[in-house]
A and B are shown apart, each in its own frame.
Chain A
Amino acid sequence: MNIQQNSVSENNFEQCIKCTICTVYCPVAAVNPDYPGPKQAGPDGERLRLKRPDFFDNALKYCMNCKRCEVACPSNVRIGDIIQSARIKYGPQHNTSLRNFVLANTDLVGSLATPFAPVVNTAVALKPVRFMMDKVMAIDHRRVFPKYAHGTFTSWYRKHAAAAQEAYPKQVAYFHGCYVNYNNPQLGKDLLKIMNALGYGVQLLDKEKCCGVALISNGLYKQARRQAQTNLRSIRTSVKGRDLDVITTSSTCTFTLRDEYPHLLELDNADVRDRIELATRYLYRLIQEGKAQLKFKDTTPLRVAYHTPCHMEKMGWGYYSIELLRMIPGVEVTVLDSQCCGIGGTYGFKKENYEVSQAIGAPLFRQIEASGADIVATDCETCKWQIEMSTSKPCEHPLHILASRLA
């Protein structure tokens, strides 16, 4: 008889059998020799940190939390989570440089910037301003900043869309995220157009905060946790109070709400997790199950190259976006090799990471240039910025392409 026969340890890192495949797949380890790689930073390092917390290595900050190590791991070790949790538990507790604060607070900075969007957009594009930001804040001067929108998505929604949504027989809730709200309200409008065409009204959550992914990666854990709690409350009201599914258009927001909340912020979301979904997957299912049908007007040939964002790969949902694109008449889809574009959210904005970020993305950029595609599609906003900055192609969300060709 053996006591351990049917037991599974809570310490997930014990499952690591040191095969090292995670380090082979790590985009950072491949180009940055200062990063010890996921195996060492994760399961190996955790054992040492359990011995003494001062075995924490600051090089863990080079992990950009892409989770490709977890996708590669045949032993189901949550390597990326181990590394991020170690940063939370053992890392510097007051990591709030001005730069990290600005990059992390997408919500706050977005709401400050949108009223002055024309000025802000022009300013951050100016060489002297970028030079100053580089010197003062260590935001790399070569980085092209995403543009802010003239007015937020939510204000547009309230003024022009909210009332009409009530009329639809079926309803869905929408977690728009910071990007749609401050940078690209058009994507939100595209989603409304598509859902409305299928007979669905789109509701906003009672109260939505930034999902917190940038706060987590910049060390602002307490704030991340507070915002997560607000979001979970709102999501619960929608899911449980109004029986509405919650859909999102950002792969990273989706991943954060579903998986990072319980794994990194220790917030139990099991009661609502399955009802939080990526819009493309939601749509694909509706169409596959014959519950909805889309009519297209524009069928001019368009060659689209799809890039699978890291968190999309982790969720295993790239398939839905790709298949959805393939349903559009006239669209020819090539799937790019699944590899990191290098931006890693706010990671690539930091001066110290710029070179690494571009080196990681280089093979992808080359493939995009050689693809002959008219446009690149992806579900992640930061991938979009990186691809548009680093290649000659425009990059859009699959739903934007879909919406623009609807009847």
Chain B
Amino acid sequence: MNNTYDVIIIGGGATGAGIARDCSLRGIKALLLERSDISTGATGRNHGLLHSGARYAVTDHESAVECIRENKKKKKIAAHCVEETDGLFISLPEDGLEYQSVFVEACRRAGIRADVIDPKEALRLEPSANPALVGAVRVPDGVVDPFRLTSSNILDARMHGAEIRTYTEVMELLREQDRIIGVRAYDHHKHCDEKFYARVVVNAGGIWGHGIAAKAGITVNMLPAKGALLIFGHRVNNLVLNRCRKPADADILVPGDTISLIGTTSSKVPYDQIDNMIITPDEVDLLLREGQKLAPQLATTRILRAYAGVRPLVASDDDPSGRTVSRGIVLLDHATRDGMEGFITITGGKLMTYRLMAEWATDLICKKIGNNEKCRTAETPLPGSTESREEVDRKMRSKPVVQRRSSISRHGDLAVKIDSRTSIQNSLVCECEEVSIGEVEYALENLEVNNLVDLRRRTRVGMGTCQGELCACRAAGLMGHRNPVCARKAKEDLVSFLNERWKGMAPIAWGDTLRESEYMTWVYESVCGLSDEENRAAK
């Protein structure tokens, strides 16, 4: 078995996936190792905001400039992952209007279009905004789907020869004197260790990069700052809503796909707690209290779930809020920094700048291995983004309209590959998000799905208001059909999927969400008899 590569990338977030793509486009033989599924860390646990950079304009000029540049590029290369909604920075009476002029000036300096608009016009554009607003600035904020973005990068990397291994956890960095020569990794599916060798190992582990570097005895001090968010059941707003004031808690409301989300909080967490994110009642209260100042109807809108991510900030000082730290990209060549050859760390940054981070890291890899190819990721569209939505829509005319448009928004031009020749394939697995059997089959065939939670990240199965109530068992059936596993394992997968859904509902379990989850419990425990399996799985 050939286990030698030019480069090994550790971490399957947006950055890791971006590096794998960039490398493979430049003809570098790359292996990506991810301990879990792709986009499970900070990549999949944020606002999904396509920053214009306006939020950072006043406090962090450099980040703002990076954001607006990447914003424009993403709209071109990742059109199917992006929605160009625009955003408003609204000033409430308690904020005053002083900050607005500072803000607009800073945006212009960073090259971000910022139009001051009349409060009445703002309310016409975004009727959900707080009617008490005294000022509004329109900026080119948008929405980006991190799961789709990462998945397309992975897809393109694989198409260009990269090897992607999910559920493969790096246990050890193999060292030969002052050089990292490869890794020893544990395959969670085959339950065995494997060794891989490469000329360069890239640490793209986000917040977990701290621990990865430590395996080489290198200190990269990360500052884990937890950010909690709430997902509302449907779209409340169609423009991104921000508060026009210094960045603070719960001041961004983003319309993401079929939902809206408010966030975030910011609190320092100990490094040993980064895999154990719990949302507290205080955080939920704070998000709601501040959120309804942006859009009053959040006070009554059904909440689907709560979740939290950890910002991969690199500690530069002891700021407990984690907010004055630059969101800037940190690229560490451990050869020059720590005297360790063949090992680099890329961290800091944010989802917005994943491509630029990948470009920087790949440039350094190229330098180390003597590759002269230029980066092409700024111009080359990702798979799914090569044709416009309208063109794809025309090609798929024969499919039912709602299903067609849903699948196009998820897969872009690749939606044409979804088999819809039989009426069975056009039947729905997930009714809330309109995911057909054909689409699930497509994802199982092409998008590296290992379990139901992976399937959710690729297709939105179980992400709607029923949170898996109707679709989980159907999807489990399809997975079992394609890849026959023993019934016990299939049930365990179903239980872990449902428990993962429940984990997000628990912090906000009241009203209709609670009622629905009770119904779901009744369906799965009483009708399907899953409770026994659950107990067994717990043991």
Contact = CB atoms under 8 A, between A and B. Distances in A.
Given A18-B516, A57-B401, A4 B300 contact: yes
Contact of B402 (A1, A10, A45): A45
Interface string A1-40: 1111101111101111111100000000000000010011
Contact of A10 (B257, B285, B300, B512): B300
Contact of B466 (A7, A11, A13, A17): A17
Contact of B288 (A3, A11, A17, A40): A3
Contacts of A2: 281, 284-285, 288, 510
Nearest to B289: A3
B516 A52 contact: no
B431 A9 contact: no
A18 B466 contact: yes
A9 B465 CA distance: 15
A4 B510 contact: yes
B258 A47 contact: yes
Contact of A3 (B234, B292, B466, B519): B292
A16 B511 CA distance: 11
B37 interface: no
- Interface size class on chain B is 35 or more
A11 B434 CA distance: 21
Contacts of B297: 9-10
A15 B519 CA distance: 13
B431 A17 contact: no
A52 B405 contact: yes
A9 B434 contact: no
A54 B393 CA distance: 11
B306 to A, nearest CB: 12
A45 B401 CA distance: 11
Most buried by B among A8, A14, A19: A14
B235 interface: yes
Given A2-B285, A18-B466, A18-B469, A47 B432 contact: yes
A107 B511 CA distance: 46
Contacts of A19: 519
A14 B406 CA distance: 20
Most buried by B among A3, A15, A19, A39: A3
B233 interface: yes
Given A17-B519, A47-B258, A48-B258, A54 B405 contact: yes
Given A3-B289, A20-B470, A40-B431, A14 B302 contact: yes
B432 A51 contact: no
B93 interface: no
B299 interface: yes
Most buried by B among A10, A50, A51: A51
B79 interface: no
B235 A51 contact: yes
B285 A3 contact: yes
A58 interface: yes
A1 B402 CA distance: 40
A46 B234 CA distance: 9
B465 A48 contact: no
Nearest to B516: A17
Nearest to A13: B234
A175 B406 CA distance: 46
A58 B512 contact: no
A47 B234 contact: yes
A55 interface: yes
Interface of B: 233-235, 255, 257-258, 281, 284-285, 288-289, 292, 297, 299-303, 400-402, 405-406, 428, 431-432, 434, 464-466, 469-470, 510-512, 515-516, 519
Given A47-B432, A51-B234, A56-B401, 19 more contacts: A2-B285, A2-B288, A3-B288, A4-B300, A7-B300, A8-B300, A9-B302, A14-B302, A18-B431, A18-B466, A18-B469, A39-B431, A44-B432, A47-B258, A48-B258, A51-B255, A51-B258, A58-B401, A75-B512
* 7 closest cross-chain pairs (CB), A and B: A17-B516, A18-B466, A14-B302, A7-B300, A9-B300, A50-B235, A47-B234
24 contacts: A1-B285, A2-B281, A3-B288, A4-B288, A5-B510, A7-B300, A9-B301, A14-B234, A14-B301, A17-B469, A18-B432, A18-B466, A18-B469, A40-B431, A47-B258, A50-B234, A50-B235, A51-B234, A52-B405, A55-B401, A55-B405, A56-B401, A57-B401, A75-B512
